[in-house]
């Protein structure tokens, strides 16, 4: 199918885009990389009268470090983030996750802001931003505010963004160089949307000669209507010595607490099995990395 007729406008600056959004707010859509929106236009799932292209607004395409935070402009494409020396140095989990998104052609065009605004519960970027406790800058003609990744996602393809608002920037605190991390997902074929995925960051703290789990954060995708943070498991494991028993306890608790919807790809029960099993591998890998920093080896 082809889209319904629309008027295409290429905005050159943020104020111009915000003004256009404000003027046409009941009947407008932003297009960034178009990797999710174009199929939706072609299938006529969305039928805007005006399409505002933000892909040429240079001030939205950047990666920088300021005041202990990494800032990523909303239209920065996946590949640019994946290949950024700054991101590779401070947030090595980010390129690892990006390599699991779709295929290179899609990662060339797709943008971080587009993925977050689209809010597909099976998308990697929303989950990663929840894991890293990111903040998002949102602007309209009348105001600018920040919202946490925790509060941004409301449901499948549903965020706090209003029609007249633009996601302009993603802010991530520079983490400790001792942060261990790991990410794994299960997809039927390479490049497909994953059925489930788990991302973990953790640090190791020495206490009375023992190695304790510290600053543990666990995020999952594909097993809820939004990306999940597993705070009850974080509470269970933080401050404890890492052990096979503790890992089993956490895995059982995850299986009991997850409540995913089944879909055409897999049943809810299968997703619970997948997610809890991936968790044990990812937790072990992240813990191993956290330990390797403490004994003085280079970041893995």
Ligand X SMILES: Cc1cc2nc3c(=O)[nH]c(=O)nc-3n(C[C@H](O)[C@H](O)[C@H](O)COP(=O)(O)OP(=O)(O)OC[C@H]3O[C@@H](n4cnc5c(N)ncnc54)[C@H](O)[C@@H]3O)c2cc1C
**Binding site residues, ligand X, CB under 6 A:** 29-37, 54, 74, 101-102, 106, 109-111, 113-115, 117-118, 123-125, 161, 166-167, 193
Smallest distance, ligand X to C-beta of residue 130, A = 13
Judged by CB, which is closer to ligand X: 39, or 239? 39
Smallest distance, ligand X to C-beta of residue 159, A = 8
Judged by CB, which is closer to ligand X: 33, or 260? 33
Smallest distance, ligand X to C-beta of residue 163, A = 10
Smallest distance, ligand X to C-beta of residue 45, A = 10
Q: Kindly give the pairing relationship between strand 50-53 and strand 7-10.
A: parallel
Judged by CB, which is closer to ligand X: 5, or 189? 189
Burial label for 240, CB within 10 Å (0-12, 13-18, 19+), is middle
Judged by CB, which is closer to ligand X: 78, or 242? 78
Smallest distance, ligand X to C-beta of residue 132, A = 16
Judged by CB, which is closer to ligand X: 180, or 227? 227
Judged by CB, which is closer to ligand X: 75, or 290? 75
Smallest distance, ligand X to C-beta of residue 126, A = 8
């Amino acid at each position: 199918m082809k889209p319904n007729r629309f008027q295409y406008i290429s905005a050159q600056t943020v104020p111009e885009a915000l003004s256009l959004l404000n003027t046409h707010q009941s009947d407008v859509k932003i297009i960034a990389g178009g990797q999710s929106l174009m199929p939706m236009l072609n299938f006529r799932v969305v039928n805007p009268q005006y399409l505002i292209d933000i892909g040429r607004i240079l001030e939205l395409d950047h990666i920088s470090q300021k005041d202990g935070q990494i800032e990523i402009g909303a239209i920065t494409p996946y590949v640019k983030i994946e290949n950024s020396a700054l991101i590779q140095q401070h947030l090595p989990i980010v390129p690892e996750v990006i390599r699991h998104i779709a295929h290179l052609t899609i990662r060339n065009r797709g943008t971080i802001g587009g993925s977050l605004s689209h809010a597909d519960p099976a998308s990697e970027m929303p989950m990663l931003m929840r894991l890293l406790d990111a903040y998002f800058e949102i602007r309209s003609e009348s105001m600018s505010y920040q919202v946490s990744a925790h509060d941004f996602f409301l449901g499948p393809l549903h965020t706090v963004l209003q029609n007249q608002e633009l996601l302009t920037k993603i802010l991530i605190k520079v983490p400790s160089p001792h942060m261990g991390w790991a990410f794994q997902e299960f997809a039927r074929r390479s490049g497909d949307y994953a059925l489930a995925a788990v991302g973990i960051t953790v640090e190791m703290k020495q206490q009375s000669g023992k190695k304790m789990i510290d600053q543990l954060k666990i995020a999952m995708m594909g097993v809820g209507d939004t990306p999940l943070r597993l705070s009850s498991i974080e509470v269970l494991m933080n401050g404890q010595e890492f052990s096979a028993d503790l890992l089993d306890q956490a895995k059982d608790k995850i299986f009991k607490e997850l409540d995913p919807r089944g879909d055409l790809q897999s049943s809810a029960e299968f997703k619970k099995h997948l997610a809890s099993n991936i968790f044990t591998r990812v937790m072990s890998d992240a813990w191993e990395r956290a330990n390797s920093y403490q004994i003085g080896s280079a970041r893995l």
